[in-house]
Amino acid sequence: MDNLNDFQRAARKVKEVTLPTPLIESPAFGRSTGNHVYLKPENMQRTGAYKVRGAYYKISTLTDDERERGLITASAGNHAQGVARAAEQYGVRAVVVMPETTPPIKISRTEALGAEVVLHGSVFDEAFAYAQQLASDEGLTMVHPFDDLDVATGQGSVAMEIFDELPEVDVILVPIGGGGLASGVATAAKLVNPEVCVIGVEPAGAACMKASLDAGEVVCLSHASTIADGTAVLEPGHKVFPYIQKYLDDIIVIPDEELIPAFLDMVENHKMVVENSGLLTVAALSHLPAEGKNVVAILSGGNMDVITMSNVVQLGLIARGRIFTVSIMLPDRPGGLVQVSRIVAEHSGNVIRLNHNQFATVNRNAAVELRVTIEAFDVRHKESIVAALKEAGLNVREVEASL
């Protein structure tokens, strides 16, 4: 994988099954970060993620016998669809072992491509161990989701396309799970231009690559806990790890809390749905120094189920102060609700829910509770509305908001 010709060959090969994903310049992120920001929208890729690149290139390198025996892999979802799509292209059997926690949309889309889905374990590593057992029992050919140099070479085609469009790129941000995409992108990028800076981005709840780099050897975490399910890996790949050590410049670790507003930013600024793992690089933009650099953030995938999407939107609105709930204790007499509504309206707030509870206290004749959920522009606007309610002499406290 140290040969640029391999990446050029892979870039040509994957075009047989991939869609063009041209860079999208983001003035909004540029203004907020002080850099020239471009997005590589692999969330718009066929199967909704970059994974089809590595899967297809790997399968193209197999012998006819290896393909005819049938393929097997383990995946949290995106690689599953990549293998299923590639297997469909070659007309061979594909078995995919997925964690039981995999979002339903990824399961259904994998099955729709003709793959046989087996659910096993709660995390990727448990699913992979079972896939290895099935491969041995049934003589299937393993297509590893990240710890395979051919797979990583296929993923490196992302970097080749970035340079084709933006030769003067300064920084590439790439999500890290097991290291397949990061190793391929970092290696290809450094072979094209050793001066480019390639930074990996991991979720704080599954930062196995950072732990491994700090230790100087592959480390297995005891557990993983992150909403970025596509990167919830306990142990990075042993084969790709040396390439990460050699070519990756740095790693940024992102807490889940930063992925939530990043989702809102993508929807509002670019009208795109990006899954939590793909949002790692978006969240990392604010961690870079503002130096006017050309920065490319790879959006690795967009396969998010509607329920998760709804939860993320709700949490994001709450986190940004755009939705909040207050509890107001009012004397039980006419006019109290009118007073509250008038104050909120005068300060351009929008009431979206009211709950009038006469049984919040033992003596309901003395006071009743009014819970009001309000829409605001931002945190400062929210604070001005709450302050106005308090200045009117009302007994106000902020409580947990919900839509």
Residues involved in catalysis: 51, 300
Spatial distance between the Cα atoms of 347 and 387, rounded to a whole number of angstroms: 10
Is the separation of the CB atoms in 209 and 236 below 8 Å? yes
- 238: three-class secondary structure by DSSP: coil
Which residues, 6 or more positions from 369, have their beta carbon under 8 angstroms from its beta carbon?
Answer: 327, 328, 329, 330, 356, 357, 360, 361
- 172: three-class secondary structure by DSSP: strand
Spatial distance between the Cα atoms of 8 and 30, rounded to a whole number of angstroms: 30
Number of other CB atoms surrounding residue 207 within 10 Å: 25
Number of other CB atoms surrounding residue 339 within 10 Å: 15
Which residues, 6 or more positions from 286, have their beta carbon under 8 angstroms from its beta carbon?
Answer: 32, 33, 258
Spatial distance between the Cα atoms of 84 and 90, rounded to a whole number of angstroms: 10
